[in-house]
Amino acid sequence: MRALVQRVTEASVSVEDKVIGRIGPGLVVLVCAMQGDTEAEAAGLAAKISKLRIFRDGDGRMNRSLVDAGGAALVVSQFTLAADTSRGNRPGFSAAAAPEPGQALYQAFARDLAALGVAVETGEFGAEMAVALINDGPVTIWLDTAG
């Protein structure tokens, strides 16, 4: 699985001009299931993200995790993280999981993250979404469970 994690002061996701998820301080997690991914990888990615020490401590250093900081997560499905741009200017997305297993893994990831004590809001799988956020830092981190 792939994820792009952004530390935020606030964020929201809307579908058809209706806000369906909103968080205060925490992380926006754009997540993509890749072909061959399993629920074990979803659980491992959730655990890794919950423990990333990217929140400031009392000395202003990145030394606290999402759980330590009491932050929330806005989890949004993002199949375009599977983009292959190696052959021309039109990205290919064939490495992304098919919609049915992709949705199941997206939902498993969100459940796993919530089970670790993180308040989780989600987008709508497969929908056209508008994501608004205020990136804090900015801190943006790419994670990939492959290799």
> What is the predicted pLDDT for the residue at 90?
95
| Regions of the chain where pLDDT drops below 70 | 147
> What is the predicted pLDDT for the residue at 81?
97
Q: Which of 80, 109, 140, 145 is catalytic?
A: 80
Question: Is there a catalytic annotation at residue 78?
Answer: yes
> What is the predicted pLDDT for the residue at 48?
98
CA 73 to chain centre: 8
Full set of structural domains in the chain with CATH? 2-144 (3.50.80.10)
Q: Which of 79, 109, 140, 145 is catalytic?
A: 79
- Token reading at 80: 């375009």
Residue 97 has what DSSP assignment?
P
Nearby residues of 58 by Cβ (< 8 Å), 6 or more positions away: none
Question: Which is nearest to 64 in space by CA: 136, 124, 114, 127?
Answer: 136
> What is the predicted pLDDT for the residue at 147?
62
Q: Rounded to two decimals, what is the model's pTM?
A: 0.96
> What is the predicted pLDDT for the residue at 146?
85
